[in-house]
Amino acid sequence: MPFAPVLRSEWLKIRTLRSLLGALLALFAATTAFSAIAGASETSDPEFDPLFMALSGVMPGQIAAISFGAMALSSEFHGGGLRLSLAAVPRRGRWFAAKTTAIAVPTLVVGLVTAFAALVVARAGLGEAASGLSTGEQVRGVVGCGIYLTLMALLAAGLAAVLRSGVAALSLLIPFILVVSFVIGDVAGGATDFLPDRAGQIVLYETYDGPLGPWTGLAVTAAWAAAALAAGAWSVRHRDA
Please state, rounded to an integer, the average pLDDT across all residues of the chain.
Answer: 88
Residues 37-72: tens digit of each pLDDT = 988 776 656 567 889 999 999 999 999 999 999 999
131 contacts: CB under 8 Å, gap ≥ 6: none
* Domain that includes residue 12, residue range: 3-232
pLDDT at 44: 52
Distances in Å between the Cα of 23 and the Cα atoms of 83, 91, 97, 119, 196 are 25, 29, 21, 20, 21
Residues 30-39: tens digit of each pLDDT = 999 999 998 8
Residues 80-97: tens digit of each pLDDT = 777 888 777 778 888 999
Residue 62 CB coordination number (10 Å)? 27
Count of domains observed in the chain: 1
DSSP calls for 200-240: HGGGG-SS--SS--HHHHHHHHHHHHHHHHHHHHHHHHHS-
Burial environment of residue 148 by CB neighbours within 10 A (0 to 12, 13 to 18, 19 or more)? buried
pLDDT at 42: 60
Distance CA 123, CA 110 (A): 20
Instruction: Tell me if 239 is assigned to some domain.
Output: no
Residues 136-169: tens digit of each pLDDT = 999 999 999 999 999 999 999 999 999 999 899 9
DSSP calls for 61-85: HHHHHHHHHHHHHHGGGSTTHHHHH
Which of 67, 53, 164, 60 is CA-nearest to residue 107?
67
Instruction: Tell me if 109 is assigned to some domain.
Output: yes
Residues 93-125: tens digit of each pLDDT = 889 999 999 999 999 999 999 999 999 999 888
Instruction: Tell me if 241 is assigned to some domain.
Output: no
Instruction: Tell me if 67 is assigned to some domain.
Output: yes
